[in-house]
Amino acid sequence: HKSTVHRILATLILRGYVQQEPQTQEYRIGLRLMEISHAIVDQFHVQRLHGFLQDLMRASQETVHLGVLDGGEVIYVDKVESTETIRMYSRLGRRVPPHCTSLGKVLLAYMGAERLHTVIAHHGLRQYTDNTITDAAELGAHLEAVRAQGYAVDDEEHEANIRCLAGPVFDSRGQIRAAFSLSGPKFRMTWEKIEDLIPLVRKFSQTMSAACGYEEDGS
């Protein structure tokens, strides 16, 4: 109801989340949300890791994303766009399913079995392409392999003609904090290129984790 909306807007204006233009009386986002967004950026070490993402883009010539898991979905919190004319489309804040993206599979692989079961139960395993894993047992075995090898591949599982390669970022407690991915069109992200990029992903996984305080011996 209009009166309810106006009361909510008045509260949001009072607290700085919304502003109203004096001339047009139209509403827009307030600066308080910028403070919150910066707090989230700090929480996930986004600024600290951005330089590494730039290095990865230069080394691979593909779009690089940094993502975290939020409510059973992956959300892009940072990215460095490829300089290639043909590249994967994405935007910051976009949410994607975890079971069929390389970022998501890395994030799922390092969570506990109980939480993984909860995510699957709440969000399901929707099929997006012919390559999407839609069986829970198959996904579980796949995630074991991801954890063992230290990286995940999305072979056109979420979007046709797009392949992605992702690695984990751990924090000082040894828990997964985020994941990063290299994404590009299949004609450029060939299996040969992916094989060449795997050592790079493993190296940057160690380097970025170290920047977040992670020590491999667990101390």
- Going by C-alpha positions, the residue among 76, 69, 119, 111 that lies closest to residue 94 is 76
pLDDT confidence bin for 34, thresholds 50/70/90: low
- The confidence score (pLDDT) of residue 179 equals 95
User: Above pLDDT 90, what percent of the chain?
Assistant: 59
166, pLDDT greater than 70: yes
Phi, psi of 115 (to 5 degrees): -65, -40
Name the residue type at position 102: S
Is it the case that residue 65 has pLDDT exceeding 60? yes
Distance CA 21, CA 44 (A): 33
Confidence of residue 88 (pLDDT cuts 50, 70, 90): confident
Is pLDDT at 219 greater than 50 in this prediction? no
User: Tell me, what's the pLDDT at 184?
Assistant: 94
Instruction: Answer for the pair 166, 198: CB distance below 8 angstroms, yes or no.
Output: no
Pair 75, 46: CB distance under 8 Å:
no
- Min mean pLDDT across 17-31, 158-172, 175-189 is at 17-31
Q: Which two tokens stand for residue 200?
A: 């790079």
- Take residue 138 and report the two structure tokens written for it: 């198959």
Rounded to whole angstroms, how far apart are CA atoms 48 and 173?
Answer: 17
125-157: per-residue pLDDT in tens? 999 999 999 999 999 999 999 999 999 999 999
- Write the DSSP string, the chain: -HHHHHHHHHHHHHHTSEEE-TTT--EEE-THHHHHHHHHHHHTTHHHHHHHHHHHHHHH-SEEEEEEEETTEEEEEEEE--SSSS-----TT-EE-STTSHHHHHHHHTS-HHHHHHHHHHH-----STT----HHHHHHHHHHHHHHT-EEEESSSSTTEEEEEEEEE-TTS-EEEEEEEEEETTTS-HHHHHHHHHHHHHHHHHHHHHTT--TT--
Beta sheet of 73-80, edge-to-edge order? 95-96, 73-80, 63-70, 176-185, 162-170, 152-155
